Structure 1
Amino acid sequence: SDEIKVESTPSLALMYGLSAGHGIKHFGQGALLIMIPSIRATLGLSDVAIGGISSAQSISSGIANIPAGILTDMFRKKVAWILFASMIMVGSGYLLISISPVYWVLLVGVVIVGFGTSMWHAPAFGTLAARYPRRRGFAMAAHLTGAQVGNTTSPLIVGFLLAGTIGSWVVFGGIEWRWLAAFISVPMILTALVVVSRFKTAGAESTGSITLGAYFASAKRLLSNRGVLGMALLGAMRGAVHNSFQVFLVIYMREELGYSNTYVGLHIALITMAGIISTPIMGNLSDRVGRRPVISFAMTAMTVLLFLFLQFDSGIPMMILIAVLGLFFFSVMPIINAAAMDMIDKGSEGSGTALMFAGGSIIGSLTPIVAGIINQSNGFQGVVIFAGAMATIGAVLSLILPMAKRESASP
């Protein structure tokens, strides 16, 4: 038992350290959304340009999965350096955003941030899975909890710092978005330095690395797996709904309803706050009753709730609706991923999945530009109908796409 204690201490330190790093990364990832109305006002951006910011971030995030998967599998004992590169990119992207004189420079900064945020996942998840073979579920849950904490605190803190107010109480004059972007780069760069100095043992448990040829061979096999392709498409639909709706919800609350940045941040935090509760419950339920019932229920609920925004478009009813929508918005994503993993041959999970979901996220990320065109001509209600229509397609797909049959639950 003494031996177990000695071995478990570094493992726990690595798990909690990576989870904390994941939370800081998601704090940076979510900050941009709350800054968008301020950026729009300064640079005089159209709705289509705003959609372009969201699309650029999503496309670069999707593409980043490919090199992240390759590098993680080819250099398994250099994982700390890949995580270092991830956080340095997020930090440097925010520095570029802070000094951007025109839209196109801002967009380059957004692309760097998007690329950096996705570079984290393959090395972190792969390391936790290898280090914790018997407690994999717990390690993944801890890592996801870190992300949810980052997603929830980011809009609250960033909204408050931009506004400088809590309700009618003026605390200070607020921080200009350029300064805030520069400040956000500091914890990202510090986290990069901590990761590379403290987590050098990450990946040490790996037995070997694969060649570039073997990586692409496993990816090629997956391209003929209809089940995985179907889940990538379903994941893309969920991402399309999320990316299109959330960015224009922020614009609507700030510009149409006249909410302060603090109040906008509170509403966005409600989406992820609700997900902290529902994600483990829905994940556990999908293990017991199967993936399809849970995914279909979540996608159908999302569809109904989105269309309700046509009726409840302000005040307390809208706030409650946002919180309830949050129960399903994020929590269905890991279950779709799990459904794909159920259909992947053992040994090809990491590399192939990175490629598959890169494709899915790129498809799903083109829709915010369409949402921008709709918002320009039909307003937020048009965006609600567009997002609701995509959620409807997702709900139908969840009923007809092939999924692996659930094995009998062990007693």
Structure 2
Amino acid sequence: MDASNTRGAAAVNPSSDPPPSAPATPEPSRGRILTLLAAGHGVTHWFYGILTVSLPLITRDFGITYTQLGALRSVERVSNIISITASGLATDFLKDRKGILLLSLVWPSLFFSLQGFSTTFLVFGALLCTQALAGGFMWHAPARAVIGDRFPDRMGFALGVHAMGGNLAASIGPVVVGAVLAWVTWRTVFAFQFLPGIVTALFLWLLLPRLGHAPRDRRNVSYGRALRSDVLTNFPLIGVTVVAGLRSIGENLIPTFLPLYLSVEMKMGTAAIGIYLGCLALVGTVFAPIVGHMSDRWGRKSTIFISLLTGGLLIGSIPLFPSGWLLLPVVSLGGMALFAVGPIIQASGLEHAPKDIWGAAQTFMDVGRSSFSLVFPLIAGAVADLYGLSYTFYLFAIVNLVAAATILIVPRARTPIKDLKT
């Protein structure tokens, strides 16, 4: 009986260890996630780069004035505001932010392709504004929130790398498409732009992990109360938003009117215009992580001030230089103000708000800066029609210098990022 019991015990409790359970799928490194987000950001800017280099051909094809073009860009900003608001709320409330990112790639790629079949300027404008409803601006809030969650100690640098992906595409797109436009029409180029967005969305769907939002630390505080106290009445955040809005005026004006200036005033072809626009974005690509690292080390305010001041003076001096080797470096260095400083302003704004409502804080900033850009494209178009395209650069310089002065009086962050709970 003892032997039988021993055999039974052996059957129930075998001497060999139980087979190990299947290992859990490892979480991708934050560097890999940042690389994928930068690549997706690049695709959203690819469309914008193609549009800018094609503007001289589009205006000529439809026979529109600069004022009409400025009005279209102003109306487009209304669509951007709707997109920004929806994206910010979704970033705070949805359990997985990946779906927002995928939508912001697929939607604009389809409507951008349809613009190639536009029969009138009205149809083209309607498709452009529909594209903006869930376009590249919808990408920013979830992507920046994910980056802020994973890089609290190096947010300026990480946002700079994320911006570098967008700027790199914005620099390559005009060069490539500018050369292609010498052989095919802008309509043909637009018609095939559904491919980059859909292919990239498929890759991100397969490679990105679940991108959840940060848990709320203040369980007893309603979202509405947190929104009022930490966003709508947050005066340091409001100050940074004003700076972001002033800077965004130039971000919208220069890519719109620089290609027209080079085409009409400098008599350049699309290939040469593409090179100038590519260099404008390329310098921003190189400087974005460098300026981000500088802001992490030496402070946001001084870095933003120097960038805005330098960029305003450079862009404002464009009409003073003839075309050729003197103008190209001026345009290229001006990209530092347009592209490199944007992520630093965004990081400065996020440092003024608790992490659990970053979606709302980003929405507030993005809606604010888009609101600044509602009227100025129309004003710039009227100025170009009345006085010439050169005066749009002087307008940019004035606005940029005002932004540089404004950042100096913005109070310090009342909720430093390093003090937030993670």
TM over 0.5: yes
| 8 Å contact from structure 1 (residues 73, 209) kept in 2 | no
Quote the Cα distance in structure 2 between the aligned partners of 1:279 and 1:383: 25
1:296 aligns with 2:315: no
Give the structure 1 partner of residue 336 of structure 2: 327
Opposite residue 246 of structure 2, the aligned amino acid is M
Give the structure 1 partner of residue 238 of structure 2: 229
Give the structure 2 partner of residue 379 of structure 1: 388
Quote the Cα distance in structure 2 between the aligned partners of 1:331 and 1:139: 12
After superposition, the Cα gap between the structure-2 partners of 1:338 and 1:12, relative to the gap in structure 1 and judged at 3 Å, is: closer
Equivalent position SS for 1:400? coil
1:89 aligns with 2:98: no
Which of 26, 36, 44 lines up with 2:45 in the alignment? 26
After superposition, the Cα gap between the structure-2 partners of 1:201 and 1:329, relative to the gap in structure 1 and judged at 3 Å, is: closer
Opposite residue 218 of structure 1, the aligned amino acid is A
TM-score normalised by the chain length of structure 1: 0.86
Quote the Cα distance in structure 2 between the aligned partners of 1:121 and 1:228: 18
Equivalent position SS for 1:316? coil
Give the structure 1 partner of residue 92 of structure 2: 73
Give the structure 2 partner of residue 7 of structure 1: 26
After superposition, the Cα gap between the structure-2 partners of 1:10 and 1:309, relative to the gap in structure 1 and judged at 3 Å, is: closer
Opposite residue 32 of structure 1, the aligned amino acid is L
After superposition, the Cα gap between the structure-2 partners of 1:6 and 1:84, relative to the gap in structure 1 and judged at 3 Å, is: closer
Quote the Cα distance in structure 2 between the aligned partners of 1:346 and 1:131: 11
Quote the Cα distance in structure 2 between the aligned partners of 1:73 and 1:43: 42
Pairing of 1:139-178 with structure 2 (within 5 A):
140-163=159-182, 174-178=183-187
Opposite residue 280 of structure 2, the aligned amino acid is I
Quote the Cα distance in structure 2 between the aligned partners of 1:132 and 1:296: 24
After superposition, the Cα gap between the structure-2 partners of 1:191 and 1:394, relative to the gap in structure 1 and judged at 3 Å, is: same
Shift of 1:216: 4.1
| 8 Å contact from structure 1 (residues 51, 371) kept in 2 | yes
Specify every segment of 5 or more residues in structure 2 that has no aligned partner in the other structure, as ranges: 1-21
Which of 139, 143, 146 lines up with 1:120 in the alignment? 139
1:220 aligns with 2:238: no
Give the structure 2 partner of residue 168 of structure 1: none
Specify every segment of 5 or more residues in structure 1 that has no aligned partner in the other structure, as ranges: 164-173
| 8 Å contact from structure 1 (residues 215, 351) kept in 2 | no
Give the structure 1 partner of residue 319 of structure 2: 310
Shift of 1:297: 1.5
Quote the Cα distance in structure 1 between the aligned partners of 2:266 and 2:158: 41
Equivalent position SS for 1:315? coil
Shift of 1:323: 1.2
After superposition, the Cα gap between the structure-2 partners of 1:72 and 1:340, relative to the gap in structure 1 and judged at 3 Å, is: closer
Larger radius of gyration: 2
Quote the Cα distance in structure 1 between the aligned partners of 2:244 and 2:145: 21
Shift of 1:192: 3.0
Identity %: 25
After superposition, the Cα gap between the structure-2 partners of 1:176 and 1:286, relative to the gap in structure 1 and judged at 3 Å, is: same
Equivalent position SS for 1:344? coil
Quote the Cα distance in structure 2 between the aligned partners of 1:6 and 1:320: 48
My pick for the range that moved more, 92-101 or 119-128, is 119-128
Equivalent position SS for 1:39? helix
Which of 23, 32, 43 lines up with 2:62 in the alignment? 43
Quote the Cα distance in structure 2 between the aligned partners of 1:254 and 1:45: 15
Pairing of 1:316-395 with structure 2 (within 5 A):
316-395=325-404
Equivalent position SS for 2:255? helix
After superposition, the Cα gap between the structure-2 partners of 1:352 and 1:46, relative to the gap in structure 1 and judged at 3 Å, is: same
After superposition, the Cα gap between the structure-2 partners of 1:335 and 1:140, relative to the gap in structure 1 and judged at 3 Å, is: closer
Equivalent position SS for 1:92? helix
1:150-197 deviation per Cα after TM superposition (whole angstroms, max 9, x unaligned): 11111111111112xxxxxxxxxx11111111111222123334434x
Equivalent position SS for 1:366? helix
Opposite residue 88 of structure 1, the aligned amino acid is V
Quote the Cα distance in structure 2 between the aligned partners of 1:295 and 1:206: 28
Quote the Cα distance in structure 1 between the aligned partners of 2:56 and 2:252: 16
Equivalent position SS for 2:353? coil
Quote the Cα distance in structure 2 between the aligned partners of 1:300 and 1:71: 35
1:67-107 deviation per Cα after TM superposition (whole angstroms, max 9, x unaligned): 11112222222x33222221222112213311221222211
Quote the Cα distance in structure 2 between the aligned partners of 1:236 and 1:154: 26
Quote the Cα distance in structure 1 between the aligned partners of 2:344 and 2:145: 18
Equivalent position SS for 1:34? helix
Shift of 1:130: 4.2
Quote the Cα distance in structure 2 between the aligned partners of 1:306 and 1:247: 14
Quote the Cα distance in structure 2 between the aligned partners of 1:184 and 1:9: 30
Opposite residue 289 of structure 1, the aligned amino acid is W
Give the structure 1 partner of residue 128 of structure 2: 110
Quote the Cα distance in structure 2 between the aligned partners of 1:15 and 1:293: 26
My pick for the range that moved more, 267-276 or 241-250, is 241-250
Equivalent position SS for 1:348? helix
Opposite residue 156 of structure 1, the aligned amino acid is V
Matched positions, count: 393
Shift of 1:290: 2.0
Equivalent position SS for 2:211? coil
| 8 Å contact from structure 2 (residues 159, 344) kept in 1 | no
After superposition, the Cα gap between the structure-2 partners of 1:131 and 1:109, relative to the gap in structure 1 and judged at 3 Å, is: same
Quote the Cα distance in structure 2 between the aligned partners of 1:395 and 1:126: 26
